[in-house]
Structure 1
Amino acid sequence: MSAMDKELLWLGWTGLHMTPWKLIGLAGAGMFGARWVVQFVASRRARRPVIPRLFWYMSLAGSLMALSYFLFSSKQDAVGVLQNLLPAFTAAYSLFLDVRHGHEQKLAAHDSAAHPAR
């Protein structure tokens, strides 16, 4: 058994049986869930549906953390792998599109400032 699969004895007082991998998986699940709070706050401020870039960062990080738990812990759970693989891919692609779109907007703003309409 690897060190990552051994119970963390210092958490024994909680009554929970925690391993480092389980903490990573729980943190990933928490981050994946908390991204909805970020989206809610951004939409409430904008008064329209908004998905901020932080949403995609949290989606990707949360999915990868949960995916690593299911891949590398003693669980080796195929259901968990499939459940987190597609969201990780989707979040990575959406983040790529968001970053690229932001870069294109900066270039367009720079071009319009450099070449004002006559």
Structure 2
Amino acid sequence: MVELHLLDRQLEWLAWSGLHVTGWKLIGYTGALMFGARWLVQFVATRRAGKPVIPRLFWYMSVAGSLMTLSYFLFSAKQDSVGVLQNLFPCFVALYNLVLDIRLRGWRRQRG
């Protein structure tokens, strides 16, 4: 029998759900949730400002979510090239925008 990497093994504490969840899937799920939840952050910031805005947290969540889902597709048993391509470009763009935001507004930007 082939020994699986620790993160490729089924998480027994989630076996009751009937789903086959591994450590990598948990990382992938968390990344996908973070990547999707960034739109909620953007929506709330826009409602508060009364105009379209993209808060820095949006870019942090974009980078983290992309890296987490990218790592799932790269390192899990799945190793899906479509998932890698799907997450590589958004990660680069989010990181670029985060760096630009920090350069333009500094580390501790003022509110308002």
> Hey, what's the Cα distance between the residues in 2 that align with 1:29 and 1:78?
17
Query: What residue number does 1:103 align with?
Result: 106
> Hey, what's the Cα distance between the residues in 1 that align with 2:77 and 2:33?
21
Unaligned runs of 5+ residues in structure 2 are none
Tell me the TM-score normalised to structure 1 length: 0.87
- My pick for the range that moved more, 60-69 or 7-16, is 7-16
Query: Percent identity among equivalent residues?
Result: 68
Higher normalized helix content (fraction of residues) = 1
**How many residue pairs are counted as aligned between the two chains?**
106
Decide which of 66, 80, 90 is 2:93's aligned counterpart. Answer: 90
Query: What residue number does 1:57 align with?
Result: 60
Decide which of 31, 35, 38 is 2:34's aligned counterpart. Answer: 31
Q: What is the letter of the counterpart of residue 83 of structure 2?
A: G
Query: What residue number does 1:73 align with?
Result: 76
> Hey, what's the Cα distance between the residues in 1 that align with 2:92 and 2:66?
9
Cα displacement (A) at 1:3: 1.0
User: Are 1:8 and 2:5 an aligned pair?
Assistant: no
Cα displacement (A) at 1:103: 2.3
What's the C-alpha RMSD, in Å, of the aligned pairs?
1.5
Decide which of 31, 42, 46 is 1:43's aligned counterpart. Answer: 46
> Hey, what's the Cα distance between the residues in 1 that align with 2:15 and 2:47?
41
Unaligned runs of 5+ residues in structure 1 are 107-118
1:27-54 Cα distance to aligned partner (Å, 9 max, x none): 0000000000000000000010000000
Tell me the TM-score normalised to structure 2 length: 0.91
Question: Which segments of structure 1 move beyond 4 Å, counting only runs of 4 or more?
Answer: none
